[in-house]
Amino acid sequence: MTDVTYIKGAQPTDHGPVEPSQTVIEYLETLLARAQSGELQGVVTVGMDADGYAGYGLVGQCGGFAMQGALTCVSTLIAEVNLSQLDDE
């Protein structure tokens, strides 16, 4: 359900105006619809900005071992993406 794009080196860049990511917009709209229906009660986010910097946040009900497990899965996926980029060098 998620597309991960690794920015090699994660170096901040200034390429002028950037195009919005339709994939990101669609994913956020899905989360918004779930929140508006009451199904989604808490969110932890990690995002990559257009300038190469990453940010994070959390809001709502963000505790429990299930959420911690999900966070570990995401951390593992990001590590795998980073390691696969090292293999390409």
The answer to whether 50 and 18 have CB atoms below 8 angstroms apart is: yes
Whether 2 is in a domain gets the answer no
Domain that holds residue 40: 8-87
| Tokens encoding 35 | 């929140």
Q: What is the pLDDT of residue 72?
A: 95
DSSP letters of 1-12? -------GGG--
DSSP strands (E only) in 3-89: 42-48, 54-60
Task: Name all contacts of 32-37 with Cβ < 8 Å and 24+ positions apart.
Answer: none
Provide the pLDDT for residue 31. Answer: 96
**Is residue 46, in this structure, part of any structural domain at all?**
yes
Residue 18 lies in a domain: yes
| Per-residue pLDDT tens over the stretch 18-48 | 889 999 999 999 999 999 999 999 999 999 8
Q: Is residue 1 part of a domain?
A: no
Whole-prediction pTM: 0.72
pLDDT above 70: percentage of residues in the chain: 80
HSE, side-chain direction, 13 A CA sphere, residue 26:
6
